[in-house]
Amino acid sequence: MRILLTNDDGYHAPGLAVLERIARTLSDDLWIVAPAEEQSGTGRSLTITRPVRVRRFDERRFAVTGTPTDAVMMALASIMDAKPDLILSGVNRGANLAEDVSYSGTVSAAMEGAFAGIRSIALSQVYAVSEEDGAPGDPVSFAAADAWGERVLRPLIDAEWAPRTTVNVNFPPVSPTQVQGVRVVRQGLRDHGRVKIDRRTDPRGFDYSWIGLQRVPHDPKPGTDLHAIAERYVSVTPLHLDLTHEPSLAAFGRALGVTG
């Protein structure tokens, strides 16, 4: 089985090394094509206004000066000599839960693979940030992902998949022995208001802003990825690429006086 590995944290990210260890339990035929630098939050963006450059580290290891979607596109269209059987994206440093999936470069790389008809799985290691846990920039433990990755991936690879779907996997922020198991759940939704704008002034007197996310109180609903992680389970969420809201088709048709 040929596996393509990618991510959004960059070629040198610790999570990519974790992903490679997991992938080697499944196959020796591995290719790595990842962004040269961190591309978190880039979603499914493409680089179309400047050149994309590729740096080759060895026969099957490449870094791309672009987004995760660029990396997958370059891998499939230019770098690899044959189509992979599986694409794994991650292991992301931090959660990709609920509405995160629409921002996530990790999930977007898997979506690009799904568009190409390749089974693709996004993997993320959740970490908690509190005074007890440490600061956001501190090293993150990937122990849960390392220990549970193969256990989750093998059954998924053998399962039946619908066309143009991808899978989003998140590992809880606990030690491997504290993981309660695996749950297959739907995508959750947090309350709005997570965006935090940090306004500053540079040394020359010009204003600028950092856009970030903050914790907001929410009560995750059972059966969602948010609830599964809160209960210390690995969350597995199948996602489909057709964003159409089916129930609205008929309602909007009636409102506009059209059918079909």
* pLDDT tens-place string over residues 116-126: 999 999 999 99
In a domain, 198, yes or no: no
| Token pair in block for residue 165 | 């779907």
Give the per-residue pLDDT at 194: 66
Q: Is the pLDDT of residue 217 over 80?
A: no
* pLDDT tens-place string over residues 143-193: 999 999 999 999 999 999 999 999 999 999 999 999 999 999 999 988 665
Check residues 208 and 26 and name the one with the higher pLDDT.
Answer: 26
Q: Is the pLDDT of residue 241 over 90?
A: yes
198/206 Cα distance (integer angstroms): 14
In a domain, 12, yes or no: yes
In a domain, 206, yes or no: no
182/189 Cα distance (integer angstroms): 20
140/131 Cα distance (integer angstroms): 14
In a domain, 194, yes or no: no
The percent of residues above 70 in pLDDT, for the chain, comes to: 92
In a domain, 215, yes or no: no
| Token pair in block for residue 173 | 């922020």
Check residues 216 and 50 and name the one with the higher pLDDT.
Answer: 50
The percent of residues above 90 in pLDDT, for the chain, comes to: 80
Peptide bond into 107 cis (omega under 30): no
In a domain, 161, yes or no: yes
In a domain, 202, yes or no: no
Q: How many domains does the chain have?
A: 1
Give the per-residue pLDDT at 225: 97
CA distance from start to end of the chain: 43
Range of the domain at 28: 2-188+220-256
Q: For residue 42, give the nearest of 75, 14, 68 by alpha carbon.
A: 68
Q: Which CATH number goes with the domain that contains 50?
A: 3.40.1210.10
What single string gives the DSSP state of each residue in 96-139?
--TTHHHH-HHHHHHHHHHHTT-EEEEEEE----STTT--TTS-
Give the per-residue pLDDT at 176: 97
pLDDT band per the 50, 70, 90 thresholds, residue 133:
very low
In a domain, 159, yes or no: yes
Q: For residue 38, give the nearest of 14, 65, 9 by alpha carbon.
A: 9
